[in-house]
Amino acid sequence: MPSSYCAENNAALAAVCCACRKTVPTALMITLNGYENGSRTHNAVCLVCARKGWRPAGFAGVYQRL
C-alpha cells in the first residue's frame, strides 16, 4: 500500500528547485536566504545544486557539505 508520506505519492511533499527548476522531494532540499532589492528572500534549492555552489543573490551565510 503506497504511503501518503512519500513524495512520490504526495505532490505536497515536492517543490521546484530555484536553480535547476526540477521538481524534487522536500526531503532533498534546503532553504538558502539571500537579499534582493532590499528585502530578504528564501530560496528552496536541491542538495545537488547547493553542493555545486549555487547561491541566491545577496547570500551571506555558510553552507558546508558534510
Grouped pLDDT means (10 residues each) for the chain, 66 residues: 65 90 92 91 93 91 67
How many CA within 13 A on the CB side of residue 56?
Answer: 22
| Integer Cα distance of 20 and 52 in angstroms | 11
Domain assignments of the chain as residue spans, ordered by start: 11-52
Q: What is the pTM of this model?
A: 0.77
Terminal-to-terminal C-alpha distance of the chain: 34
